[in-house]
Amino acid sequence: MIKKSYLTIILILLIIFFGIFLSLNKFSGKGYFSILNKFLSNNQIQQIQKYVLPYRFISQQDEEINKLTNPYSRLELDFKNTEKDIQVAKMLNIKLSNNLILNRYNLINGFYSGINNEFPGSAFLDFHSNNLVILSARGILGFTNNLNKELNFKQIKNNINEFIDIDQFRKHRWFSLKDLFILNNEIYISYTQEIEENCWNTSIIRGAFNYNSIQFEKFFSPKNCILSINNSEGEFNAHQSGGRIINFDENHILLSIGDYRNRFHGQDETSINGKVIMINKNNSNYKIVSMGHRNPQGLYFDKENNFVLETEHGPQGGDEINLLYVNKFKSEAIQNFGWPIVSGGEHYGGKIDANKAKYLKYPLFKSHNEYGFIEPLKSFVPSIGISEISKINKNNYVVSSLGDRSIYLFKLNNENKIINLKRIEVFERIRDLIVKDNILYLSLEDTASIGIININ
């Protein structure tokens, strides 16, 4: 009679051998080992997966969950890898106020994964010569030389996803690319970088512009980062990452960086968060030129008037348009706009019991001047979800919005005060805006479209 111990060993070996067969066959019913499936129910297969090969089972389950919870990023990256053209379709024009017409061109494929909306995708715009260049939130890059003739965007091969990829996108859709900026034959892209595991900040990659292929390299990366879990503030939001890039002079660019909802950074001169910084193009050294910002979303350098216009999201109310004087950039004193001590808005939920400690720490006083800070040119209460700002022509400007789905036209008088502010609803969230020859080009993210408004 066979001893009991021998039977146990044989049983264990059979289970291991049986598990290996099933593992090799991936439980798909295909290949040389598919005959085994004829003797097992689906429930028996799942039990063997779970108890004989638990690590494989857990890995498969995680993979399936990721596919279900974040399918659009994967779809977008899969399309990027095809290197196919981004097809464009003309949509119906929309008649706006002030006798303006919104022409829209839908991005049919590729732009699937959004920054705020889960679907469809978000985009950023810039020009290289007369070619309109577009960047998706997940790394698709393309160009067209005449959108009015409904030409498709040709994809530009790139290595953006060596710096931020599906591992980051799956954590949350706010982990994304944040801006596109082209200067001569250089292209800059800002993004939320996972500097350490679950620790983030806003960084820049740069490459030589080429219509066939662009090889990006790290240009600017902060040493410090903000934890997305278990940080000292107990809050985190990567929508508040800033990321806007503009040119300043021959040797410098400007970058806006948000506070990631760790509010105290706005008044900490040792931190780059809640700041606008000037970065040297040659060595990536930087200088803080303004502070006290929450989430700076728009930047425009008006060379003619020698100032920078900055827009930023407030909390619950209090979106701002601010003016930074360029002649003060060389000063040791940093221009300070007050966040989180002052704001036209309130902490989310307002002055409720749950916010008492928050108001003691960050009071959000309503007068900037009274507490030694610079007053905004304009404070929007309620918030409009302010985004990019640009100049149309002499003393005429435009600012776009996300939540309000509108653009605002305005003038600055001789005292740099906003006059003739006009709201024009465009009925979609506007992620980005660029002006060329009195024509507005808008990135519309509710339909993943390009909008064009001629304001002559």
Q: Count Cβ neighbours within 10 Å for each residue of 159-194 and write b for 16 or more, e otherwise.
A: ebbebbeeebbbbbbbbbbbbbbbbeeebbbbbbbb
- Predicted pLDDT of residue 146: 78
Q: Which residues lie closer than 8 Å to 53 by C-beta, 6 or more apart? A: 19, 22, 23
CA distance 27 to 45: 8
352-356 — which CB contacts under 8 Å span 24+ positions? none
Distance between alpha carbon 319 and the CA centroid of its chain, in Å? 18
37-54: average pLDDT? 47
CB atoms within 10 A of CB 434: 18
The token pair at 111 is 């732009």
Side by side, the strands of the sheet bearing 141-144 are 123-128, 131-136, 141-144, 154-155
Q: What is the mean pLDDT of residues 196-205?
A: 98
Residue 120 clears pLDDT 80, i.e. is over it: yes
Q: Answer yes or no: are the C-beta atoms of 405 and 426 closer than 8 Å.
A: yes
d(Cα 246, Cα 289) in Å, to the nearest integer?
A: 14
pLDDT value of position 6: 61
Strand 449-454 relative to strand 101-107, pairing: antiparallel
Cis peptide, bond prior to residue 120, ω within 30 of zero: yes
Please say whether the beta carbons of 280 and 252 come within 8 A.
yes
User: With contact defined as beta carbons under 8 Å apart, do 289 and 279 qualify?
Assistant: no
CA distance 138 to 166: 9
pLDDT tens figures, 346-404: 999 999 999 999 999 999 999 999 999 999 999 999 999 999 999 999 999 999 999 99
Q: Measured between alpha carbons, how far apart are the two ends of the chain, in Å?
A: 100
Q: Greatest CA span in the chain, whole angstroms? A: 106
Q: Are 134 and 34 in contact (CB under 8 A)?
A: no
**Does residue 339 contact residue 292 with C-beta atoms inside 8 Å?**
yes
What are the helix (H) ranges across 113-258? Answer: 166-169
42-51 and 54-69 helices, crossing angle to 10°: 110
* 280-327 pLDDT, tens digit each: 999 999 999 999 999 999 999 999 999 999 999 999 999 999 999 999
Query: pLDDT value at position 403?
Result: 97
What 3-state DSSP class applies to 425? strand
Peptide bond before 315: cis, by omega within 30 degrees of 0?
A: no
Question: What tokens does 58 get?
Answer: 């857990």
d(CA 26, CA 14): 18
Q: What is the DSSP string of 364-389?
A: -BS-TGGGT-PPPSEEESS---EEEE
Using 50, 70 and 90 to split pLDDT, how confident is the model at 16?
A: low
Taking residues 213-237, report their average pLDDT. 96
- Show the domains of the chain with their CATH numbers: 4-64 (no CATH), 72-454 (2.120.10.30)
Say what the pLDDT of residue 10 is. Answer: 63
The pair phi, psi for residue 259, each rounded to 5°, is -95, 0
Return the residue matching tokens 């779809």: 75
Amino acid at 418: I
DSSP-assigned beta bridge partners for residue 441: 434, 452
pTM, 2 dp: 0.85
